[in-house]
């Protein structure tokens, strides 16, 4: 008999996939008088890819904190293999001082020093045989690897950094780029369990595809919270849903989980209805014959049956995306926007030299290209917010442009509440409709009465998105509109834009969103634009490349 020799990663997964790297038993956690978890259980095995899903506020990040021991559970246990190294990427990055990007990625700026202090303190306490010591030692050894710098540079390149960025001060860069440097450090350490809280929020499409491919062959286990449906479909094998304080397991990727969840609801609902009929029949019998002496024993028997019956809870129907009717924009001219012989440079850096682009009314264009290719620059030129050095820019007849940038907060009145801002944007909108759409985009109950001045960056972004939807222009330009949205909100946005009759040009790293919305692709690289008269899959087919990342980065 011939024996196949397995690659090391596959051998590892095959041999150890049945062993748990993390086990949660009988977990209970209450917060502010509300029970987040009750008798919750979870198991993550070596090499497994697991997603934790549920609506905002369900307790996903709290569960991460309990696993990481930064928060205590009220009851239950969280068991980790004592040799397990955990790496954690939070939604918001740690503060940086004067360290360079490469120093962040290699742990040379603060991380190694912190690990040394942890090891020294545990040694002084005589606690060198505890999981905390093993984990700190593992991370310290990983960051002292002679090949650490080469590994870090490889990760940084994959995540979109250029060679000249490695020695830049991290604090000079945006928060999203700093997050990428922290992610690179995690990948360099290769933890046994990689915990990721919204890891794709700060990635562009090219770096997201690289990260996705990297995780497919990653030897450790991955536990993620994500709102990126396609990302989870590509990676996840198991979904745990937080629902009514329980952790419900589905052996599925995300799309399969959605189907299984509906099937589970229908089964439980049918069982609940049948039981309700049975209970009603027994109660009717008892009521009818309680005073009949010849039926006394039968009544007593049925009453005991009712008392012993394990009641089936009425299941809650899975939430669906919010649908609403919004006013359609006034019709514009056949030629929506036109650029001719555009020259654009930032100092000595030439972005475009003699570029032409013509956009027709009703087109839905997605701009695709590698980081730094000029996608956001082109969108700003089309929006009329960025001056170019040479060329001609024409707006079509009756054009009304709305530009949704990644950092848009200037249009909000700091003295208005959230709901006042929406009602002011669309004077014919009813308050009930405004509440509905705000709820769909994660503004709950009392949050609609918050002043816009105190909103976070993500909340401001979502509020501006709602304002566009209730009073849409006939040309809508959007830069990463799905960032800070949960999956149901993304689906609500897809429904809204599918019914939108104006012209749409957008940039996105959400492949599911791109596939649902775009009917035309503009590929941008090396200062040139190439048009594909079809959606994302058509673009990939015509690119003749081995994978999506190669197609997008092709010159």
Burial code (b: 16+ CB inside 10 Å, e: under 16) for 415-432 equals eeebbbbbbebbeebeee
Question: Helical H runs in 393-442?
Answer: 418-425, 431-440
Mean pLDDT across the chain: 88
**CA distances, 285 to each of 160, 276, 301, 445 (Å):** 72, 14, 11, 45
Burial code (b: 16+ CB inside 10 Å, e: under 16) for 523-536 equals bbbeeebeebeebb
What local confidence, expressed as pLDDT, does residue 410 receive? 62
Q: What is the pLDDT of residues 535-551, one digit of tens each?
A: 999 999 998 887 899 89
Dihedral sign of CA atoms 57, 61, 64, 69 in order: negative
What local confidence, expressed as pLDDT, does residue 328 receive? 86
Confirm if 482 and 426 have CB atoms less than 8 A apart: no
pTM for the model: 0.87
Confirm if 337 and 402 have CB atoms less than 8 A apart: no
Confirm if 356 and 341 have CB atoms less than 8 A apart: yes
Question: Which CATH code for domain 335-553?
Answer: 3.40.50.300
pLDDT, tens digit only, all 555 positions of the chain: 333 333 344 444 444 445 899 999 999 999 878 899 999 999 999 999 999 998 877 899 999 999 999 999 999 999 988 788 899 999 876 767 788 999 889 888 677 888 888 889 888 888 888 888 888 888 888 888 888 999 999 999 999 999 999 999 988 888 888 899 999 999 999 999 999 999 998 899 999 999 999 999 999 999 999 999 999 999 999 999 998 888 999 999 999 999 999 999 999 999 999 999 999 999 999 999 988 888 889 999 999 999 999 999 899 888 888 887 778 888 999 999 999 999 999 998 999 999 999 999 999 999 999 988 999 999 999 999 999 999 999 999 999 999 988 765 567 888 899 998 888 887 777 888 888 888 888 888 888 998 888 887 778 888 888 888 888 899 999 999 998 888 988 998 999 899 999 999 999 999 999 999 999 999 999 999 999 999 999 999 998 887 899 899 886
What local confidence, expressed as pLDDT, does residue 124 receive? 86
What local confidence, expressed as pLDDT, does residue 541 receive? 93
What local confidence, expressed as pLDDT, does residue 6 receive? 37
What local confidence, expressed as pLDDT, does residue 244 receive? 82
Confirm if 183 and 197 have CB atoms less than 8 A apart: no
CATH architecture of residue range(s) 11-84+192-251: 3-Layer(aba) Sandwich (3.40)
Q: What is the pLDDT of residues 81-92, one digit of tens each?
A: 878 889 999 987
Q: Are strands 520-525 and 528-532 parallel, antiparallel or unpaired?
A: antiparallel
Q: Comparing C-alpha atoms, which of 369, 376, 374 is closest to residue 350?
A: 374
Q: Are strands 238-243 and 246-250 parallel, antiparallel or unpaired?
A: antiparallel
- Please state, as a whole number, how many other Cβ atoms lie within 10 Å of the Cβ of residue 334: 10
**Structure-derived torsion over alpha carbons of residues 462, 476, 228, 257, reported in degrees to the nearest 10:** 100
Confirm if 496 and 504 have CB atoms less than 8 A apart: no
Total residue length of the chain: 555
Structure tokens at 347: 């100092």
Q: Comparing C-alpha atoms, which of 534, 462, 523 is closest to residue 493?
A: 462
**CA distances, 195 to each of 44, 50, 52, 68, 231 (Å):** 11, 10, 10, 9, 15
- Please state, as a whole number, how many other Cβ atoms lie within 10 Å of the Cβ of residue 438: 22
Residue with the two structure tokens 């040479």: 390
């Amino acid at each position: 008999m011939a024996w196949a020799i397995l690659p090391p990663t596959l051998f590892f997964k095959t041999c150890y996939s049945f062993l748990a790297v993390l086990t949660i038993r009988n977990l209970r956690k209450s917060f502010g008088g509300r029970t987040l978890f009750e008798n919750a259980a979870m198991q993550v095995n070596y090499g497994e890819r697991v997603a934790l899903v549920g609506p905002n506020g369900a307790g996903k990040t709290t569960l991460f904190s309990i696993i990481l021991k930064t928060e205590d559970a009220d009851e239950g246990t969280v068991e980790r293999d004592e040799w397990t190294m955990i790496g954690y990427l939070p939604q918001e990055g740690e503060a940086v001082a004067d360290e360079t990007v490469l120093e962040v990625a290699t742990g040379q700026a603060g991380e190694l020093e912190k690990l040394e202090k942890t090891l020294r303190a545990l040694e002084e306490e005589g606690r060198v045989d505890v999981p905390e010591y093993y984990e700190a030692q593992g991370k310290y050894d990983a960051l002292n690897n002679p090949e650490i710098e080469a590994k870090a540079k490889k990760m940084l390149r994959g995540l979109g950094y250029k060679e000249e960025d490695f020695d830049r001060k991290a604090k000079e860069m945006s928060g999203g780029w700093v997050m990428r440097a922290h992610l690179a450090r995690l990948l360099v350490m290769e933890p046994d369990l990689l915990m990721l809280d919204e890891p794709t929020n700060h990635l562009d499409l090219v770096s997201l595809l690289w990260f996705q491919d990297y995780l497919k062959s990653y030897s450790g286990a991955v536990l993620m919270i994500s709102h990126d449906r396609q990302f989870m479909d590509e990676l996840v094998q198991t979904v745990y849903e937080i629902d009514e304080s329980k952790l419900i397991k589905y052996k599925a990727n995300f799309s399969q989980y959605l189907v299984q969840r509906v099937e589970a609801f229908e089964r439980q609902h049918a069982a609940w209805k049948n039981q309700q009929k049975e209970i009603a029949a027994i109660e009717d019998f008892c009521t009818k014959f309680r005073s009949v002496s010849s039926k006394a024993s039968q009544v007593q028997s049925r009453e005991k049956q009712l008392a012993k019956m394990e009641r089936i809870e009425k299941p809650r129907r899975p939430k669906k995306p919010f649908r609403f009717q919004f006013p359609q924009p006034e019709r514009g001219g056949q030629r929506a926007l036109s650029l001719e012989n555009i020259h654009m440079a930032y100092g000595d850096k030439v972005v475009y030299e003699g570029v032409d682009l013509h956009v027709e009314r009703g087109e839905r264009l997605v701009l695709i290209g590698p980081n730094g290719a000029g996608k956001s620059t082109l969108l700003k030129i089309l929006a009329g917010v960025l001056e170019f050095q040479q060329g001609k820019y024409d707006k079509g007849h009756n054009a009304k442009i709305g530009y949704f940038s990644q950092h848009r907060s200037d249009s909000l009145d700091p003295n208005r509440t959230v709901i006042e801002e929406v009602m002011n944007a669309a004077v014919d909108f009813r308050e009930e409709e405004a509440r509905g759409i705000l709820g769909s985009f994660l503004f709950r109950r009392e949050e609609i009465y918050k002043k816009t001045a105190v909103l976070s960056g993500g909340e401001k972004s979502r509020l501006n998105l709602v304002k566009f939807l209730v009073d849409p222009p006939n040309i809508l330009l959007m830069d990463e509109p799905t960032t800070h949205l949960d999956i149901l909100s993304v689906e609500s946005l897809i429904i809204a834009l599918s019914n939108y009759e104006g012209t749409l040009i957008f940039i996105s790293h959400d492949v599911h969103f791109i596939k649902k919305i775009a009917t035309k692709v503009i590929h941008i690289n090396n200062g040139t634009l190439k048009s594909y008269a079809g959606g994302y899959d058509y673009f990939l087919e015509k690119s003749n490349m081995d994978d999506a990342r190669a197609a997008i980065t092709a010159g």
